[in-house]
């Protein structure tokens, strides 16, 4: 095969993206676990560990820049590197949302829960599932699968609405819950944004495979 | 990883008659890496390359000052054994210069000059080894008696590299080795160079900046006989320190 070493650089890059994806998924799962267990120490660690995700993003960007500068990628190789530059930005931002949940856990402290956490973990589960599927579609160059992931964003939006309405009702009923309920709305909002960012990743996968830049799914929020 | 330098020049000046072709060149070529020398025509890059095995001696009115140290020895010393030097520092040229002989005799040629290997089995072993290094063994093992000119240009250039490898050099100098080749053959030769750098120190002079960027680990930029900048290729092509380098590699002059 011609340009064996270049192909290896690209494969390494793909592996880095997958590794970064794993780091981000772990951050989301940990942040929700910390919220459920109201574990402030773990929340602090999540915030610290976000630096690692940020660093991974800079490393990946640097590799992409070096490849563009030295290897003159064209066609699907170029699209892949451009797509990766976008994908790592989205992943980094998703990491920030998980970090944001960590910060909320710290604000929440040991105040009693407003309500049992059911829909928020479900939102997180769906968002993580979307993210996993998008990374899988990236590896398999599957534009169809990427497009399908985008339509799942509607489910996350529906859950978000549900959480919002429910918490609004708590606040109306008992103003003492306002600050705690607001924290939970922020959490739900972060998760809703994660799912939106995943749809951006999917759009980049469609671009990588087909060369078309298109908005696949317009989120309600 | 600490880099050891294979070749080091100190205050190297070279005159062709009155013309100063190299001016105070100080360069350290890292061992077992690919170093590319780039720069506009007439900047002295080929002249510098030819210094490393004293090929400039063949040009009249050449005057060299300074030091060129290879493995701790200044090769400009008058007692340098040039035959031995050129065996250790092999060279591949712009156009494949295969001899009008069989593939076998092309490869054996240097062995005769250097009185290396006499036994037929040893010679065949060396030929197989060098053709394997350049990825030609499978194609040519049954055609060793064919004239080398019957090969494609890319195969001929590979054969020239194999011919250099026959002599077990430490350093391979390549002067525009791909300029006579089509793009796909060029990429194949680049892959070959990358594989060879495990064992050899490779220095490539090229007009083709993209090639330098693709293939090399280190890049030196020359202008008007001076080495303007030397560094990791990734650094040179993403954040060069000198404006001259930036202007040249971004195509603003040259």
Domains detected in chain A? 4-210 (1.20.58.220)
Q: Which of A4, A6, A66 sits opposite B238 (nearest CB)?
A: A66
Q: Is B234 on the interface with A (CB under 8 A)?
A: yes
Residues of chain B with pLDDT > 90, as a percent, come to 84
Can you tell me the mean pLDDT for B30-42?
96
pLDDT band at A41 (very low <50, low <70, confident <90, very high): very high
Record: fold of B5-97+170-249 = Rossmann fold (3.40.50)
Question: What are the tens digits of pLDDT across the range A104-142?
Answer: 999 999 888 898 999 999 999 999 999 999 999 999 999
| Domain spans in chain B, listed from the N-terminal domain onward | 5-97+170-249
Distances (CA, A) of B164 to B92, B93, B107, B145, B151: 8, 11, 8, 19, 18
Chosen for mutation from B38, B197, B213, B218 (greatest number of chain A CBs closer than 10 Å) is: B213
Closest CA to A100 of A162, A28, A166, A39: A28
On whether any CB of chain A is under 8 Å from the CB of B232, the answer is no
Please state, in angstroms and rounded to a whole number, the distance separating the CA atoms of residues A97 and A27. Answer: 9
The token duo for A40 is 């402030």
> Phi and psi of B118, rounded to 5°?
-110, -35
Helix (H, G, I), strand (E, B) or coil at B60: coil
Residues of chain A in contact with residue B238, where contact means CB-CB under 8 angstroms, are: 65-66, 69
Chain-chain contact of B213 with A2 (C-beta, under 8 angstroms): no
Asked if B233 and A70 come within 8 Å (Cβ–Cβ), the reply is yes
Q: How confident is the model at residue B1 (pLDDT cuts 50, 70, 90)?
A: low
Q: Which residues contact A150 (CB under 8 A, 6 or more apart)?
A: A199, A202, A203, A216, A217
């Amino acid at each position: 095969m011609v340009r064996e070493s270049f192909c290896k650089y690209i494969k390494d890059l793909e592996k880095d993206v997958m590794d970064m994806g794993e780091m981000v998924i772990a951050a989301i799962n940990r942040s929700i676990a910390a919220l459920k267990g109201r574990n402030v120490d773990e929340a602090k660690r999540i915030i610290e560990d976000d630096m690692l995700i940020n660093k991974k993003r800079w490393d990946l960007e640097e590799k992409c820049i070096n490849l563009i500068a030295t290897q003159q990628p064209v066609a699907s190789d170029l699209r892949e590197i451009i797509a990766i530059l976008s994908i790592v930005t989205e992943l980094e931002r998703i990491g920030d949302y998980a970090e944001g949940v960590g910060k909320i856990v710290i604000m929440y402290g040991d105040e009693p829960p407003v309500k049992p956490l059911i829909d928020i973990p479900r939102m997180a589960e769906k968002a993580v599932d979307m993210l996993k599927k998008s990374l899988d579609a990236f590896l398999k160059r599957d534009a169809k699968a990427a497009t399908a992931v985008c339509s799942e964003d509607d489910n996350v939006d529906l859950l978000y609405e549900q959480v919002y309405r429910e918490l609004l009702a708590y606040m109306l009923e008992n103003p003492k819950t306002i600050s705690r309920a607001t924290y939970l709305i922020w959490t739900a909002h972060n998760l809703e944004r994660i799912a939106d960012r995943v749809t951006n990743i999917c759009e980049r996968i469609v671009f990588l495979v087909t060369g078309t830049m298109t908005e696949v799914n317009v989120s309600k929020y | 990883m600490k880099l050891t330098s294979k070749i080091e020049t100190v205050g190297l000046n070279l005159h062709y008659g009155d013309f100063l072709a190299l001016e105070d060149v100080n360069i350290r070529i890292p061992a077992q890496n690919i170093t590319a020398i780039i720069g506009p025509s007439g900047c002295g890059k080929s002249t510098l390359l030819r210094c490393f095995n004293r090929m400039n001696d063949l040009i009249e009115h050449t005057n060299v000052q300074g030091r060129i140290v290879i493995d701790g020895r200044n090769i400009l010393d008058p007692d340098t054994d040039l035959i031995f030097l050129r065996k250790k520092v092999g060279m591949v040229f712009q156009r494949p210069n295969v001899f009008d002989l069989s593939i076998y005799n092309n490869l054996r040629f240097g062995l005769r000059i250097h009185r290396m290997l006499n036994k037929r089995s040893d010679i065949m072993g060396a030929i197989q080894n060098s053709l394997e290094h350049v990825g030609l063994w499978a194609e040519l093992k049954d055609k060793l008696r064919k004239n080398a000119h019957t090969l494609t240009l890319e195969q001929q250039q590979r054969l020239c590299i194999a011919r250099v490898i026959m002599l077990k050099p430490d350093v391979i100098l390549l002067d525009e080795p791909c300029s006579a080749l089509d793009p796909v053959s060029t990429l194949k030769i680049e892959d070959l160079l990358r594989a060879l750098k495990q064992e050899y120190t490779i220095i490539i002079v090229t007009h083709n900046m993209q090639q330098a960027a693709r293939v090399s680990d280190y890049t030196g930029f020359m202008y008007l006989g001076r080495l303007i900048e030397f560094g990791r290729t990734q650094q040179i092509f993403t954040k060069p320190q000198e404006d001259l380098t930036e202007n040249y590699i971004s195509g603003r002059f040259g």
